[in-house]
Amino acid sequence: MSSALDWLQFVLAPQMVNGLSIGVAVVLMALGLTIIFGLLDVINMAHGEFYAIGAYGAVALIGLGMSFWWALALTPLLMAVLGYVTERGLIQRVFHSKDRHTLTLLLTFGVGIVLEDVLKIVFGANPLRVEAPITGATELVGLFFPNYRLFVMAVGGLLIVAVWVLVFRTSLGAIVRAAAFDRYMSASLGVPISRVYAATFAFGVALAGISGVLLAPIYSVFPTMGRDFVLIAFSVVIIGGMGSIKGAVLAGLLLTQVQSISSLFISPVWNDPLLFGIMVLVLMWRPQGLYGKLGNA
Amino acid sequence: MLELRDVHSHYGLSHVLQGIHLRVEPGEVVGLFGRNGVGKTTVIKTIAGWVQPTRGEIVFESRILSTMSADQVSRLGIGLVPEDRRIFPGLTVEENLRLGFMQAPGVGRAEQKRKLEKIYQRFGRLAERRDQMGTTLSGGEQQMLAFARVLTGAPKLLLIDEPTEGLAPMIVEELFTLMRELVDEGISIVLVEQNVHAALELTDRFYLVERGQITFSGDAAEAASCAELVERISV
């Protein structure tokens, strides 16, 4: 009996906490993807690279002598500008085309490749490190948890709540939800659709940027760092329901827990097949995912 | 106030509007009649900016609308009550109404509150259901919401497409009373309506649309007294 309790306390609980700290960052990234898809109907294939740019943004700003905290505050703002320019300058140009789904998919895929190469040219291919701004550990129920991971969970949790409040409890959010459901009718009520699209894309990119900064001290920073991470985020969005905020949160936390806990029993090489296997099953039996479109919560 | 000069519109290869000429004077109610699928709704959508005309000109108060987006058109004071109401799912009655304020940006919070209270006084049932999801209302209430939503923006011209479709006679009567009140308040209306008898009582003039063209236009009062004409424009 006591060995089972020990296992729960000393093996399972730390693993779940680790999964949770990664989970909130995955959710932030998936929220950006799902909001962009829910409103613009665009699958942003460059989302992983925006995440990587967020991490490199932190590297660059810290390299300029700023503290991690300034980097955490400034990077999302810079990312939002980058997102806004990308939407207005590139996506809007093909958005009204008859083949826009294919065109935006290929366009963002191309943008991702360009951004990844730019990162290689500017920062080199070798992994860089960002020092955690908070060190040490805190004892909770007899276990020690790294303070920085607890910080990531707290900030990520607050940001997720803030996104939910923004989308579902403000007039700005009502505009975005209305535009997601019916852009023609929204426009006829005076909603400046193209600016709402650009601002929402910018917001999604900023969320990817925040994830990049938050996870930079946990993982190494390298040009292709977004690839694996964005695949997890895509699975989360598909399983949660493309365009659903509630779905992204639930699926993000659930999937990262499945990954964390399963690695106690099976080799970590099975993590990805397990994750994508779940995604395939969901696509086969519930293609709409757990929840519906943006606005349905 | 509004003039369409030789307006053509296409849906892909389909040439839907084939040279529409139409005029609306300030304070006037103009009816658009004709069978289903002849292009009446496309006329409304083209004026509203949902469909870009491929040829011709749309002029509203000396401004060319033809190249404007739908949001720009709405901010000039052209409101739309669309076919099928198009109430936003997931938004409460009040959120639907507040969206209407986007038609007239720059209105302060106090003014918005005052306008909203005025709307609620006019549409009592919406006031009772302000926190309810808009799509959970009955058909008649949703139509009232569609009218109320556009009225928060204080439009000068209303484009109203099939407002009575599928509604009970009592609600239809209420809607015509509402439209008469709006006309009395000085709002001009372009009305697409299948119930020609009732519509002729409200309209000043009418246009008959056939195969994307205006084939006949006339005075509503004269038409109402001519059974043969009423039969021709009725469907």
pLDDT tens by residue, A214-226? 999 998 899 999 8
Tell me what the mean pLDDT of segment A183-208 comes to.
Answer: 94
Residue A57 has pLDDT above 60, yes or no: yes
Best of B102, B103, B131 to disrupt the A interface (most A CBs within 10 Å) is B102
Residue A1 has pLDDT above 70, yes or no: no
Residue A62 is assigned to a structural domain of this protein: yes
Residue B132 has pLDDT above 60, yes or no: yes
Between these two residues, B220 and B81, which has the higher pLDDT value? B81
Give contacts of B104 with chain A, Cβ < 8 Å. Answer: 190
Q: A150-159, B61-70, B78-87, B105-114: which has the minimum mean pLDDT?
A: B105-114
Please state, in angstroms and rounded to a whole number, the distance separating the CA atoms of residues A80 and A296.
25
Residue A69 is assigned to a structural domain of this protein: yes
Mean per-residue pLDDT of chain A:
89
Q: A27-31, A128-132, A195-199, A242-246: which has the minimum mean pLDDT?
A: A242-246
Please state, in angstroms and rounded to a whole number, the distance separating the CA atoms of residues A47 and A28.
12
B95 has a chain A CB within 8 A of its CB: yes
Residue B231 has pLDDT above 80, yes or no: no
Residues A191, B102: C-beta atoms closer than 8 Å = yes
* Cβ(A119)–Cβ(A53) below 8 Å: yes
Residues A188, B102: C-beta atoms closer than 8 Å = no
Residue A295 has pLDDT above 80, yes or no: no
Give contacts of B89 with chain A, Cβ < 8 Å. Answer: 181, 295-296
* Cβ(B96)–Cβ(A185) below 8 Å: no
Tell me what the mean pLDDT of segment B200-205 comes to.
Answer: 89
Task: Provide the pLDDT confidence category of residue B98 given band limits of 50, 70 and 90.
Answer: very high
The closest CB to that of B91, out of A178, A187, A194, belongs to A178
Residues 6+ away with beta carbon under 8 Å from B137: B87, B93, B129, B145
Task: Provide the pLDDT confidence category of residue B35 given band limits of 50, 70 and 90.
Answer: confident
Q: Extract the tokens encoding A234.
A: 């895509």
Nearest of B175, B10, B2, B156 to residue B85 by alpha carbon:
B175
- pLDDT confidence of residue B186: 92
Give contacts of A188 with chain B, Cβ < 8 Å. Answer: 48-50, 70-71, 73-74, 79-80, 82
β-strands B29-33, B205-210: how paired?
A: parallel
Residue A66 is assigned to a structural domain of this protein: yes
Tell me what the mean pLDDT of segment B56-65 comes to.
Answer: 93
Any idea what DSSP says for residue A12?
I
Nearest of B204, B94, B114, B191 to residue B154 by alpha carbon:
B114
Residue A20 is assigned to a structural domain of this protein: no
Task: Provide the pLDDT confidence category of residue A272 given band limits of 50, 70 and 90.
Answer: confident
Largest CA distance in chain A: 66
Q: Percentage of residues in chain B with pLDDT exceeding 70?
A: 95
- pLDDT confidence of residue A297: 46
Task: Provide the pLDDT confidence category of residue B37 given band limits of 50, 70 and 90.
Answer: confident
pLDDT digits (tens, 9 = 90+) for A237-254: 989 888 888 899 999 999
Please state, in angstroms and rounded to a whole number, the distance separating the CA atoms of residues A177 and B91.
8
* Cβ(B101)–Cβ(B107) below 8 Å: yes
Tell me what the mean pLDDT of segment A272-296 comes to.
Answer: 80
How many folded domains does chain A comprise?
1
Tell me what the mean pLDDT of segment A177-188 comes to.
Answer: 92
Residue A43 has pLDDT above 80, yes or no: yes
Give contacts of A198 with chain B, Cβ < 8 Å. Answer: none
Residues B82, A185: C-beta atoms closer than 8 Å = yes
Nearest of A44, A22, A28, A85 to residue A249 by alpha carbon:
A28
Residue B228 has pLDDT above 80, yes or no: no
The closest CB to that of B71, out of A174, A192, A296, belongs to A192
* Cβ(B206)–Cβ(B223) below 8 Å: yes
- Kindly list the distances between the CA atom of residue A287 and the CA atoms of A53, A180, A266, A290, B91, in Å, as whole numbers in the listed order: 31, 20, 28, 9, 25
**Which residue is closest to A192 within chain B, CA to CA?**
B71
The closest CB to that of A174, out of B49, B74, B99, belongs to B99
Give contacts of A178 with chain B, Cβ < 8 Å. Answer: 88, 91, 95-96, 99
- pLDDT confidence of residue A10: 78
CATH 3.40.50.300 positions along chain B are 2-77+156-233
- pLDDT confidence of residue B235: 59
Please state, in angstroms and rounded to a whole number, the distance separating the CA atoms of residues B151 and B137.
19
Q: A62-76, A279-293, B6-20, B161-175: which has the minimum mean pLDDT?
A: A279-293
Residues B86, A194: C-beta atoms closer than 8 Å = no
- pLDDT confidence of residue B226: 64
| Segments forming the whole domain that contains residue A212 | 25-219
Q: Extract the tokens encoding A236.
A: 């989360």
Which amino acid belongs to residue A269? V
Tell me what the mean pLDDT of segment B107-135 comes to.
Answer: 92
* Cβ(A243)–Cβ(A42) below 8 Å: no
pTM over 0.90: no
Which CATH superfamily, name and number, covers B2-77+156-233?
P-loop containing nucleotide triphosphate hydrolases (3.40.50.300)
Please state, in angstroms and rounded to a whole number, the distance separating the CA atoms of residues A2 and A281.
38
Residue B29 has pLDDT above 50, yes or no: yes
Task: Provide the pLDDT confidence category of residue B53 given band limits of 50, 70 and 90.
Answer: very high
Which stretches within B102-151 are classed as H helix?
A: 109-122, 124-128, 139-151
Mean per-residue pLDDT of chain B:
90
**Which residue is closest to B69 within chain A, CA to CA?**
A187
